[in-house]
Amino acid sequence: MAGDNNHPPGITALLGRVARLGMGMLRTRGELLALEYQEEKARRIELMMLALGAVLLAFLGMALLTGIIILLFPGDWRLYVAGIFTILYFAGAFWAGSRLKSMVDEPPFAESLEQMRKDKAWLESFK
């Protein structure tokens, strides 16, 4: 059987195959991480621009509306009405700040971290 090539691969061939598999896995994870980084960067910029525009427009609208409402009241009541609006605006600012914080608390790179957890569990299953 001089022409029989059905012998099992050597240890170096197996190690090479494992190394190529590991490098391919790392490359795939790196590409996923880079893609998520770009998406996260674009999402953060969009969030900031939308928040800035919303704050600016809301501020202008509320300032005009507040001025109109205060001017509708008699002169001796205007100071009290302005105080009530101040309290309402501070309460609204607190609510908006807490809401914004809850939106930003979502961890970045969640998908990459999940894939790394799965990879770790898979590798530990061989122990």
Give pLDDT, residue 65: 94
pLDDT in tens, 57-78: 988 998 999 999 999 999 999 9
pLDDT at 1 over 60: no
Mean pLDDT of the chain: 86
Give pLDDT, residue 8: 72
Mean pLDDT of 6-25: 81
pLDDT in tens, 64-113: 999 999 999 999 999 999 999 999 989 999 998 999 888 887 777 777 88
119's enclosing H/E stretch is helix 110-124
Give pLDDT, residue 77: 95
Kindly report each contact of residues 109-113 with a partner whose C-beta sits within 8 Å and lies 24 or more positions away, as own/partner. Answer: 109/33, 109/36, 109/37, 109/40, 111/32, 111/36, 112/29, 112/32, 112/33, 112/36
Q: Using pLDDT thresholds of 50, 70 and 90, give the confidence band for residue 5.
A: low
Q: Hey, where are the domains in the chain?
A: 36-124
108: tokens are 């970045």
